[in-house]
Amino acid sequence: MAETFETTTEIVRRAHEMLAPPVWDYVAGGAETETTLRRNRDAIGALAFRPRILRNVAEVDTSTTLLGTRLRIPYILAPVGSLQAVTEDGAAASVRASISFGTLSTVSSVSQPGLEAAAEAATGDKWFQLYIRGDFGWVTEMVDRVRNAGYTALILTVDVAHYSRRERQIIGRWLPPGRRTLRDEQYQAMLDWETALRIKQVARMPVGIKGIQTAEDAEMAIRDGFDVIWVSNHGGRQLDHARAGIDVLPEVAAVVAGRAPVVVDGGFMRGTDVLKAIALGATAVGTGKLHALALAAGGEPGLVRMLQILEIEIKTSMGLLGVTSLAQLDPSYVANIGPVQNPPGAFPFLPGIGL
């Protein structure tokens, strides 16, 4: 089935057919009025390209490097909780697909089959995302497990001091599996810069901060030596009425100034979306929603096929922009022309889907 997909539109349509309505709402939805969710897409749409012509673009290289890992495209799989609700193999399918294709997966600490089993799914570089669910002794034990399992980086998600009100889930009276046995959430609410720095000091591996939304916090993360600066509003699923990820990106990239890789997520669905982020200073883009929908549509093969389609889109658009490597992209290749009137969304041929 997966090999028959020629567009991401077909993948999303198949996911919509396969997922039960409450699970679709979990994957597709956001917090409260879903204003942040919409802004993520609207802000990407507000950016127009400034392509250059008469360049030799017969050979185009879409690859980059992130913390020493070569990526076939500047795109990684962001952590998604409760992936077992969309595909039987959960996070293990993401790990296998990412390594098979040639990119990175970030395994969520609230997705099955669990830390060690996901790591064992395939040999290759992979990251682990940690929610804090215990005291510092618990954290130290978890970090040791992450390191011993062979993960190459630890990502601290810091924008969930309180779990948001996700009204689609509330109205449907549906809880994702990762929250059904949840305990000790107060430790995530207590997480501060001092504790984050202590975690970095005991980790003995690269540590990133995911959930940066201001230049001020990016500067503090760089000051404390964090290895990845991840711009994220949690896909519009946490604080409503926040700025779009791509709107935050330029100020963060300016203060980071090449001292650490910058990852961004929030509404990225197309190869053109990825290239806009690279032009504004990102090293790579992460996506959770499209990642989960591809798994729902076709499991591990569906996810590999989605990555292949993105690669085609990225390569084609780079050639049309007049660049042969990602390093050639800079802010001169985009212009903010303001919001698109009646934006069609990422998938205009799927009316009623709402993406």
Catalytic residue IDs: 234
With beta carbons less than 8 A apart as the criterion, state whether 211 and 157 touch.
yes
For 287, phi then psi, to 5°, come to: -135, 130
d(CA 261, CA 280): 13
For 284, phi then psi, to 5°, come to: -155, 160
d(CA 216, CA 208): 16
Q: Where are the beta strands (DSSP E) in the chain?
A: 47-49, 64-66, 69-71, 75-77, 106-108, 127-130, 153-157, 207-212, 228-231, 262-264, 284-287, 334-336
- Ramachandran region, residue 261 (left: φ > 0; alpha: ψ -120 to 50; beta: rest): beta
CA distances, 350 to each of 9, 109, 180 (Å): 7, 32, 32
What does the angle CA 298 – CA 299 – CA 302 come to, to the nearest 5 degrees?
50
For 315, phi then psi, to 5°, come to: -65, -45
Is the link from the previous residue into 113 a cis peptide, with omega within 30 of 0? yes
Question: Beta-carbon neighbour count of residue 335 at 10 Å?
Answer: 12
Per-residue DSSP letter, 79 = -
d(CA 292, CA 290): 5
- Adjacent-strand bridge partners of 47: 336
The string of DSSP letters for 164-218 reads: ---HHHHHHT---GGGTT---THHHHH--HHHHHHHHHHH-S-EEEEEE-SHHHH
